[in-house]
């Protein structure tokens, strides 16, 4: 039994007429006749009484008509539901984070994505640049914010902004620091990040240029934690200048007037997934939030 048997059954029951039913079903009358006959033989039930005026449902046929309609309706539901999610993004978008939500404008990103793709579940995974890139490569993340250069050939990335960095100093060390002398700074304790963080590279470059190395004390792989350490007087650290200045209002911390290289905030994903609708949706939303003109991607496939 196939759906066309049921469709024919219901149509003939409604029209009480093979010829009219065949017209409604855009086929020939013998075909309709064969459908009914095949269905009756498979069921072992006579569905219609053949009269000179047409086809009239038998009591058994009338009993079965409703069930046939229900089956057709269920199949129709399936189709309709499929059509309704045809152009919808379904699934989960896992985004890696490398710094605080506010700076990454997560609220706007989430709001835009959820509005445009209500069936797309979004997961933000806290992490760091160094942890997120391998996670991208093994598929634990779909996309990620990263800082610094992104020369991995497997990854596509978009620059969102340049992060201006500065050396954050605890207030209690203000007098012992004095003017910004690199060699003097190196002798103070530092709160540092893991080597795979872009800030680490900035810090290392700063001292290597002057042939010295900082005294390391504590590692904090999250800039919120790092800032807290600095404010607590544990040592110096590298943070975004705007963050330091913001924190200075309520914490014993200030930014050294030392010029540091900037670092790019990027959004990265696997190149192989560049045409994945979920990735494209994420990039498109990101380009809105960050006012980029980037997503001029070719409409592949």
Partner DNA sequence: ACGACGCCATCACAATTCCTGAACGCTCGA
Partner DNA sequence: TCGAGCGTTCAGGAATTGTGATGGCGTCGT
Give residues in contact with a copy of itself (CB under 8 A): 1-4, 6, 43-45, 58-60, 63-64, 67-68, 70-71, 73-75, 77-79, 81-83, 85-88, 90-92
What's the min distance (Å) between Cβ of 54 and DNA? 4
33 touches, from DNA, a copy of itself, none (C-beta below 5 to 8 Å by class)? DNA
- Inter-residue contact 167 to 182 (CB < 8 Å): no
Helix (H, G, I), strand (E, B) or coil at 217: strand
What's the min distance (Å) between Cβ of 117 and a copy of itself? 12
CB of 176 or CB of 272, closer to DNA = 272
Among 3, 28, 162, 213, binds DNA (CB under 7 A): 28
β-strand partners of 76: none
Q: Which residues from 131-190 bind DNA, rule CB under 7 A?
A: none
Output the six-digit token pair for 193: 């990040």
Output the six-digit token pair for 93: 């978008």
Task: Report CA Rg, the chain.
Answer: 34
Length of the chain equals 301
In 224-262, DSSP assigns E strands to 237-240, 253-255
CB of 50 or CB of 119, closer to DNA = 50
β-strand partners of 209: none
* 92 lies in the binding site for DNA (CB under 7 A): no
- How many angstroms separate the CA atoms of 108 and 179, rounded? 40
Binding mask 245-264 for DNA (x = CB under 7 A): --------------------
126 touches, from a copy of itself, DNA, none (C-beta below 5 to 8 Å by class)? none
What's the min distance (Å) between Cβ of 17 and a copy of itself? 21
What's the min distance (Å) between Cβ of 6 and a copy of itself? 7
Angle, helices 277-289 vs 106-116, to 10°: value is: 130
Residue 117's nearest CA partner among 159, 89, 76 is: 89
Q: Which residues from 35-74 bind DNA, rule CB under 7 A?
A: 35-38, 50, 52-55
Count of residues of this chain found to bind DNA when the rule CB under 7 A is applied: 22
What's the min distance (Å) between Cβ of 77 and a copy of itself? 6
- 168 sits in the region (left: phi over 0; alpha: psi -120 to 50; else beta) called beta
- How many angstroms separate the CA atoms of 11 and 152, rounded? 62
Burial class (CB in 10 A: 0-12, 13-18, 19+), 96: buried
CB of 20 or CB of 188, closer to DNA = 20
CB of 61 or CB of 148, closer to DNA = 61
91 touches, from DNA, a copy of itself, none (C-beta below 5 to 8 Å by class)? a copy of itself
Among 10, 14, 24, 29, binds DNA (CB under 7 A): 29
Collect all residues with Cβ–Cβ distance below 8 Å to 173 and sequence separation of at least 6: 188, 233, 236
Contact footprint for DNA (CB under 7 A): 2, 4, 16-19, 27-31, 33-38, 50, 52-55
């Amino acid at each position: 039994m196939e759906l066309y048997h049921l469709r024919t059954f219901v149509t003939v029951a409604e029209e009480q007429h093979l010829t009219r039913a065949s017209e409604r079903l855009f086929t020939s009358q013998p075909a309709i006749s064969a459908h009914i006959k095949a269905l009756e033989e498979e069921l072992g039930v006579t569905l219609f009484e053949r009269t000179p005026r047409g086809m009239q449902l038998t009591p058994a046929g009338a009993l079965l008509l409703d069930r046939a309609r229900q089956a057709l309706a269920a199949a129709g539901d399936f189709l309709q539901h499929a059509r309704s999610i045809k152009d919808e993004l379904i699934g989960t978008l896992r985004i890696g984070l490398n710094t605080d939500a506010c700076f990454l404008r997560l609220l706007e990103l989430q709001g835009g994505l959820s509005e445009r793709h209500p069936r797309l579940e979004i997961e933000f995974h806290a992490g760091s640049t160094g942890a997120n890139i391998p996670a991208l490569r093994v598929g634990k993340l779909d996309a990620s914010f990263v800082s610094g250069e992104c020369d991995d050939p497997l990854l596509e990335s978009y620059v969102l902004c340049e992060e201006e960095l500065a050396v954050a100093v605890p207030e209690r060390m203000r007098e012992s620091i004095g003017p910004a002398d690199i060699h003097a700074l190196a002798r103070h304790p530092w709160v540092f990040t893991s080597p795979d963080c872009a800030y680490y590279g900035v810090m290392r470059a700063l001292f290597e240029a002057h042939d010295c190395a900082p005294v390391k004390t504590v590692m904090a792989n999250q800039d919120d934690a790092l800032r807290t350490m600095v404010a607590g007087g544990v040592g110096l650290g590298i943070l975004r200048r705007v963050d330091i200045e913001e924190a200075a209002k309520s914490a014993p911390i200030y930014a050294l007037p030392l010029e540091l290289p900037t670092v790019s905030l990027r959004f990265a994903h696997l190149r192989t997934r560049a045409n994945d609708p979920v990735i494209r949706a994420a990039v498109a939303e990101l380009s809105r939030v960050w006012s980029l003109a980037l997503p001029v991607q070719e409409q592949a496939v």
